């Protein structure tokens, strides 16, 4: 009976070994199949990601250009305003200078007139 149990255990171990090998083979096949499926799904995702990167870069370039143009327009408007203000101030100062020159001439004429009376 011991020999019979020994053969039964040996047969059982052999069967279990075959089952383990069969399960391993099935799992390996399923794993390979999943890898192929994911690889097939990954390619379009990678392509979509590349396209999105290109789109984002183009959008960034467009926005950068818009911002540059906006700043240039604002700077141009500010320069124009500054030029107008400088011109107004220059005109005001020239007018004030001419008025002071006229006052000086008037005072000089009055002084010359007083000196001629004294002589």
pLDDT tens-digit series, residues 23-63 = 999 999 999 888 888 888 888 888 999 999 999 999 999 99
pLDDT band at 115 (very low <50, low <70, confident <90, very high): confident
| DSSP H/E element including 91 | helix 2-118
Residues 1-17: tens digit of each pLDDT: 556 665 677 888 888 88
Report percent pLDDT > 90 for the chain. Answer: 60
**Alpha-carbon span 110 to 56, nearest angstrom:** 80
**Sign of the dihedral through C-alpha 4, 5, 7, 8:** positive
């Amino acid at each position: 009976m011991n020999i019979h149990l020994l053969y039964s255990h040996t047969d059982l171990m052999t069967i279990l070994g075959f089952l383990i090998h069969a399960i391993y083979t099935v799992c390996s096949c399923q794993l390979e199949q999943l890898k192929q499926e994911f690889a097939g799904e990954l390619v379009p995702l990678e392509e979509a990601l590349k396209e999105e990167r290109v789109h984002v870069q183009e959008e960034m370039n467009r926005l950068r250009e818009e911002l540059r143009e906006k700043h240039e327009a604002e700077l141009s408007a500010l320069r124009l305003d500054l030029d107008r203000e400088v011109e107004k101030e220059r005109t005001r100062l020239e007018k004030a200078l001419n008025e002071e020159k006229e006052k000086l001439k008037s005072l000089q004429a009055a002084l010359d007139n007083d000196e001629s009376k004294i002589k």
